Amino acid sequence: MHLAIPGFARPSTRFDREIMLRPDRRVDFTSSLLSAFATTPLIEVHDLAKTYRTARGDLTLFRALNLEVDPGEIVAIVGQSGTGKSTLLHILGALDVPSAGTVYCASTNVAKLSPREAAAFRNREIGYVWQFHYLLAEFTALENVAMPLLARGRKRQEALAVAAKWLMEVGLQDRSDHRPGELSGGEQQRVALARALVNNPRLLLADEPTGDLDETTAGQVFSLIERLHRTHNLTSLLVTHNLDLAARCTRVLRLENGRLSPATPIP
């Protein structure tokens, strides 16, 4: 952002020009600057392409795909199976790399990260929830939630204490010493959600987080995601086939023919 200060660069934004052209206008510089930064997208994807080489030839998933997600939004992505919804989340979460285009996520050019940098970025900035919980069967719910903290170098007792608070957040404080096999599907997904958020990431990526649950449990888990999204100031991007749940999000985008577009309103 270039401010209109004498002797410096010419104004290049609408905000700059208004300051110069309307000197009579009283401007609260602090609030204006905060507002400008607050509306900077947390996700910026431009001209994204992704092509896989297969025995039958190249398979292109994305063609000049563009996406912007502002801080605080909860955005649903819908579309047919095989259109690349999960691949898009993998690229945003630094689990995969694009074939072309630019991908900025949480102010980081994720396509340029080394494997070690990508791992650190995911641990620091991204909370990831999959359709299947991928909890470690030999560890308790408390230990599973603490894993990302331990990977970050936190002391065990400190990590377990933080994990216990997150289990309380998702309503499972009385199940902390249970192993995944002793929990219901909905409880396992709540543990997975606590694990995803234990490092206080800015961005939550959820790939069919309710897809393996019955309708009632799916609604409960989605309501929990909505509550945590609000109370922890998250920005969330969800892939789902459940159009009723998608309709509860800030926006619904459809991935089709390699591009994203606003989804047709659900009747």
What digits encode the pLDDT tens for the residues 115-166?
999 998 998 899 999 878 889 999 999 999 999 999 888 999 999 999 999 9
Whether the CB-CB separation of 241 and 211 falls below 8 Å is answered with yes
Measured CA to CA in angstroms, residue 221 lies from 94, 192, 228 at distances of 25, 11, 11
Q: In percent, how much of the chain has pLDDT > 70?
A: 84
Measured CA to CA in angstroms, residue 170 lies from 1, 72, 144 at distances of 40, 20, 14
- Give the model's confidence band at 19: pLDDT under 50 very low, under 70 low, under 90 confident, else very high: very low
At the second CATH level, the architecture of 43-262 is 3-Layer(aba) Sandwich (3.40)
pTM greater than 0.75: yes
Q: Give me the residue spans of the domains in the chain.
A: 43-262
- 36/79: higher pLDDT: 79
- The tens digit of pLDDT for each residue in 163-217 reads 999 999 999 999 999 999 999 999 999 999 999 999 999 999 999 988 888 899 9
Task: Say which residue the tokens 């991204």 belong to.
Answer: 126
pLDDT above 80 (res 32): no
Three-state SS string over 151-193 comes to: HCCCCHHHHHHHHHHHHHHCCCHHHCCCCHHHCCHHHHHHHHH
